Structure 1
């Protein structure tokens, strides 16, 4: 189990998928009828985390032996740093279990306290675990940090020296592939001329590519990443049309045209909207043709519906702003989950990956399944915590935080922020439950959706001093510009 965990942290587990699967199956079959799953907190937590992560039915009740008669974790474990780190990692695979919430609180408190008396090396390892737990982290980013942090062990002849060499080689080769993909995207974006013709929209091709890079990082998804980035670009472009440029009448006409998906309907639109519709029409047809050619299914109907749904959500926000009508927090969130754009991304990715293309699944994904809406909730709440400080937008994007404080005038800003963080934690628990028990959609799509949720914190963790995104800057530098 420790070797499998090391492979995951190095980003090498995709190279040993069959071996890991058969090994876990063998271990699970040996232990499935036993109540004893490890001698100590480290082993028990590792067992629970690995098997839940890989879709096995395991209960955190195996951790009860570390609970005292008052229902709290025993203080005897408070100095077991290795065990606490393992418990903290396991606690993030919560699907609503109180014992894991207590485990997270207990382990995080004592791990933060331990930093004061640990040596620098071990203190840094503890901080890395606290700030970047594996389940909540982007795998390639985590691998980059793990390899760098354990570089000294490698140079001093650790037992995993061959794995370190393989991990560095694999990381650098894939990094070169991603650099070529980014070049192709930048070339496409320049050729569209949209940055010049729609000068008011955000010109952030690199940022748009970060989503696909995170969601489907495996080398064989190269074409998928490039094409998905094109679709993501239009989420931002259309958002800016609604939020910073279009009048309400123009936006209503634009939404009608998109919903009908009728190229002739653009005759009634202003020129900038014609430019956008034409470009979106071409990219959407390109994606439909790729899916039809490679997988034998034409997704154009579902893709068109998804863009209509997004525009209607944007239009609702524009109407709220124009009428100075403020929705209640629940009305806002129902609309905001759609306007987050997560639904659009997952629908397009579903067809580009080409797995599980059945009529039942297509009907299901058109209705915004729960595993998608939970990621949308996480994105929207994180975005609202940052108040979109990196954007210069005048429209009603809204903020759940502001609406919550308006409805609970007795609470402070700090209390409201704490409430939103609890909501994000609960949304993650619900997303975990959906992801670990999902049977209809293929697991690669479920994993991609989890990766999208993991990316949210990177995209919206603002620096309070200058409103920059230091984690995103480090992420881009580490994955695209700095070889190992």
Structure 2
């Protein structure tokens, strides 16, 4: 009995000779497996279940850091605001709405309308977070960064992060707020110059400035902002590792959910 010859996938000579000899190869149509794709589906479900469990654990870790009961010092409140800002920009704030509201209410009650920090970046962050959550904070807080002629101080040109933060905060202005009108005019002009003439190793900052000038944070879609901000946040030396992992997992889970929904819809189209 002759053994079955091995199948070759690359011998063009053999194929050519067989064609010349009129040899016709039969094709084999294999039946679909009676098991279908249930094993693949099972693996996907298993992976998703693992991701959901991981995300749940990470949410609890981040939640604990958003609790304000033990925070009493201004620097602790600064760290808390930076965490809230990251949580929002990474697209996971919907998991912590109650904690964020309680934390910002605590900060507002503690400082009222007179934030004590003179750092422009932090002051602008304080203003933006509170105002976008409906707290009644006055734009007059920025007058301390202006001269007697109502112009922003020349020294602020050296504070790029501060100007970027002020630029984002100013877009929460309401009609008649001349301080914020002036802030947008000042920061837009300065940031455009920086983006055009920036020389240095921090390309991330230049990218953030360019993106802000195209579309301020207030006008961005949360999911698109999360996709854009995750790699930026990942390269920040002070990033929260648990929050970063949560943001990536949550983004994947949400995308998976959307794909399933689209798949279900397509069955009826």
User: For the Cα contact (< 8 Å) 2:139–2:179, is it kept in 1?
Assistant: yes
> When you count helix as a share of all residues, which structure comes out higher?
1
1:117 aligns with 2:198: yes
**Cα distance in 2, alignment partners of residues 179 and 98 from structure 1:** 46
User: For the Cα contact (< 8 Å) 1:37–1:43, is it kept in 2?
Assistant: no
* Structure 1 residue runs without a partner (length 5+): 191-484
Match of 1:40 in 2: 119
1:147 aligns with 2:230: yes
**Cα distance in 2, alignment partners of residues 106 and 43 from structure 1:** 18
**Cα distance in 1, alignment partners of residues 187 and 164 from structure 2:** 7
1:87-127 deviations in whole A, cap 9, x for unaligned? 11111111112211211111111111112124323211222
- Specify the SS of the correspondent of 2:118: coil
**Cα distance in 2, alignment partners of residues 103 and 44 from structure 1:** 13
Match of 1:76 in 2: 155
**Cα distance in 1, alignment partners of residues 118 and 145 from structure 2:** 11
User: For the Cα contact (< 8 Å) 1:51–1:58, is it kept in 2?
Assistant: yes
The two structures, once aligned, show a CA RMSD in angstroms of 1.8
Q: CA deviation at 1:2?
A: 0.9
Match of 2:250 in 1: 170
Match of 1:98 in 2: 178
**Cα distance in 2, alignment partners of residues 27 and 118 from structure 1:** 38
Q: Write the mapping of 1:433-444 to structure 2, written as runs, cut at 5 A.
A: none
- Specify the SS of the correspondent of 1:179: helix
Q: CA deviation at 1:73?
A: 1.3
**Cα distance in 2, alignment partners of residues 140 and 65 from structure 1:** 36
Match of 1:136 in 2: 219
User: For the Cα contact (< 8 Å) 2:166–2:187, is it kept in 1?
Assistant: yes
**Cα distance in 1, alignment partners of residues 160 and 246 from structure 2:** 29
**Cα distance in 1, alignment partners of residues 158 and 252 from structure 2:** 38
1:30 aligns with 2:128: no
User: For the Cα contact (< 8 Å) 2:121–2:162, is it kept in 1?
Assistant: yes
1:179 aligns with 2:179: no
**Cα distance in 1, alignment partners of residues 182 and 122 from structure 2:** 18
Match of 2:143 in 1: 64
**Cα distance in 1, alignment partners of residues 227 and 129 from structure 2:** 21
**Cα distance in 2, alignment partners of residues 163 and 36 from structure 1:** 27
**Cα distance in 2, alignment partners of residues 37 and 103 from structure 1:** 20
Per the alignment, do residues 36 and 151 of structure 1 end up closer, same or farther by CA in structure 2, a change over 3 Å counting?
A: closer
- Find 1:3's aligned residue among 72, 79, 83: 83
**Cα distance in 1, alignment partners of residues 88 and 189 from structure 2:** 26
User: For the Cα contact (< 8 Å) 1:132–1:142, is it kept in 2?
Assistant: no
Runs of 4+, deviation exceeding 6 Å: none
1:384-425 deviations in whole A, cap 9, x for unaligned? xxxxxxxxxxxxxxxxxxxxxxxxxxxxxxxxxxxxxxxxxx
- Specify the SS of the correspondent of 1:150: helix
Per the alignment, do residues 162 and 45 of structure 1 end up closer, same or farther by CA in structure 2, a change over 3 Å counting?
A: same
- Normalised TM-score (structure 1): 0.37
Q: CA deviation at 1:55?
A: 0.7
**Cα distance in 1, alignment partners of residues 214 and 224 from structure 2:** 13
Match of 1:18 in 2: 98
- Specify the SS of the correspondent of 2:96: helix
**Cα distance in 1, alignment partners of residues 242 and 227 from structure 2:** 16
